[in-house]
Structure 1
Amino acid sequence: MRNNNLGVPVLVGTLLLTGVSAVQAAPNTFNTALPVAEGQYLWREQLVLRERSDKGPMDRDVSVQALGSVLGYGVTSKFAVFGVVPYFFNKELDVTTPTGRVERGTNGFGDISLFGRYTLYKKDFTGSTFRIAPVFGLTAPTGDDNDSDRFGELPRPLQVGDGAWEGFGGVITSYQTLQYQMDAQLLYRENGRHDGFAQGDETRFDASLQYRIWPRSLEGVSGTPGFTYALLESNLVHRERNEIGGGADANSGGTQWLLAPGLQYITRRWVVEGTLQLPVAEDSNGDAIQDDYIVRVGFRRNF
């Protein structure tokens, strides 16, 4: 899922940790490619509530409420493909103008992303496993990129679509034991240009720790309906400046670091999960808009 449209980091693949169809603990803020065995499907829904603002003279506030729908399929035991469809219930901008405070907004389906993940390396130990998997994909310009309101055409960051083809790729690692799991992702997104506008390219490093807090021990466990995991995730993101016409937008791009505590409840087929992403440090260019917080809640199911 795309950062520009959904206001959230791109949802990309994590590793296939086992060959069975049971779901596993996994990051909540930076993946969609959750364990999918050969011939099996993964369905995921995630509601994202994002609030952003700046401290410039325009005093901009941006609110995003969106739902990301993901369907994955295990083509082989090593290769899986995924499709991501974002829907925006609301993308709203409140901004100060010479005539006063103005509210602008839109809604609708965003740009669809398609990607694949291939398990390049795996090593199984007693009670644990380690995986390395590259991920690669593209985003198609399927969302509306020229929506208007009574003030005219909406600004490009407020549109639900970019109007440009974009590609992304990277690598993900995962180490899983019976008690905890660690994941890390390095991803680069190259954004395209449309109608004189190009969002800045993005580089991100994400990491996640999922630790089982209930039941605390598996000794004597029999008939437990599910497991509860505590999550702590880190997202370090660098964005280049946007380009408008032939020049760069001085009030865009920068580097930010977010931390996200959360919880997951896991059964054999279902996972219910939620996190709260909070900015720890931000180094934005000029008066670029910054995150206040991001809430993510959702579920996933293998079948």
Structure 2
Amino acid sequence: MKFYKCLMAVLLGLTAQLSVSQGPPITADKPIMLGGKSSIIKTLTEIRNTNQGTFVRVPLMIHYLPTSNSLVAVHLPYVHYNFSDERGSGSTLGDINILAKYQFYRKDGTGKTFRMVAKTLQTLPTGEEFNIEGISTGVYQSYFGVVAGYESLKYGISNEIGYNLVPEADFDSFSYKLGFGLPLLKPTYPVDQINLYFEYINEYRPKLEEYELFYAQGIQYAKKQWTWEAAVQWPLIQNNVPESVQRNYSIFLGTRYVF
């Protein structure tokens, strides 16, 4: 019996390591966290092409986990804009984000885990008033959501539902994100894994009666403490969105380091 308990403890620990090895979704989020007192330095550059121009957002993201079930972070974005009209091009500071997450449910099994996280993202109006969501709006925003995710040795599924409140503008929004992760290599430790991601983002703005659905196809390579990732995102539906601001595509390029 003692041997059996030790074996189960080893398997559960290995499961936690393997689930983390898949890495987070690229354009979405997942509830699995690292150990307490750990830190992550990451960036996820977005190159977004729209009918009004091309915009680049390069955030420096600093994440810290005080405990194994909590996380606080700050995102400091550099923004380059290139409007197709008289506003021209230039570079500036974007909207700074403050993130907090708390994992309130966790159920582990042999080779699988299910977890849930409450999160909030506060967007500070430090950017220019371009009214480009996710790039630079220049208005305060407050997001609250819940992330639920399941991962096994064969695949991962993440869900996120939330509401973004924008007191000084009309683009409050409900959002739902759904992502699927597929590891391509056999699990190993230290981590050496390639993952494919298939991600959907739904956004509905009730005041404007606008609805958007985006799909992103991504690939990720994780090696020990490093992760490199890339994805292409394009719109599937853009209902009631003014043609002048509709998106054509986005390219995401990211790197992260865990210590």
2:56 aligned with 1:81: no
Shift of residue 253 of structure 1? 6.2
TM-score, normalisation: structure 2: 0.84
Name whichever structure is richer in helix by fraction.
Answer: 2
Aligned to 2:9: none
Aligned to 1:121: 105
Unaligned runs of 5+ in 2: 1-14
How far apart, CA to CA, are the structure 1 residues paired with 2:81 and 2:162? 26
SS in 1 for 2:67: coil
Q: Percent identity?
A: 21
2:145 aligned with 1:173: no
In the TM superposition, what whole-angstrom CA distance separates every residue of 1:125-148 from its partner, at most 9, and x where no partner exists? 111000011101312222344xxx
Contact 1:47 1:68 in 2 (8 A): yes
RMSD (CA atoms): 2.7
User: Paired residue for 1:227, among 193, 208, 223?
Assistant: 193
What letter matches 1:181 in structure 2?
A: G
How far apart, CA to CA, are the structure 2 residues paired with 1:132 and 1:230? 22
In the TM superposition, what whole-angstrom CA distance separates every residue of 1:130-179 from its partner, at most 9, and x where no partner exists? 0011101312222344xxxxxxxxx6559x75443321100001111112
Alignment of 1:1-303 (within 5 A): 18=16, 23-31=21-29, 35-53=33-51, 61-88=52-79, 90-95=80-85, 102=86, 104-145=88-129, 156-157=131-132, 161-193=136-168, 198-215=169-186, 218=187, 226-241=192-207, 254-287=210-243, 289-303=245-259
**For this pair of structures, how many residues does the alignment match?**
244
TM-score, normalisation: structure 1: 0.72
In the TM superposition, what whole-angstrom CA distance separates every residue of 1:201-222 from its partner, at most 9, and x where no partner exists? 121111111101134xx5xx6x
Aligned to 1:5: none
How far apart, CA to CA, are the structure 2 residues paired with 1:157 and 1:235? 17
Unaligned runs of 5+ in 1: 1-16, 54-60, 96-101, 146-154, 242-251
How far apart, CA to CA, are the structure 2 residues paired with 1:178 and 1:200? 39
How far apart, CA to CA, are the structure 1 residues paired with 2:31 and 2:56? 22
What letter matches 1:235 in structure 2?
A: I
SS in 2 for 1:183: strand
Shift of residue 35 of structure 1? 3.0
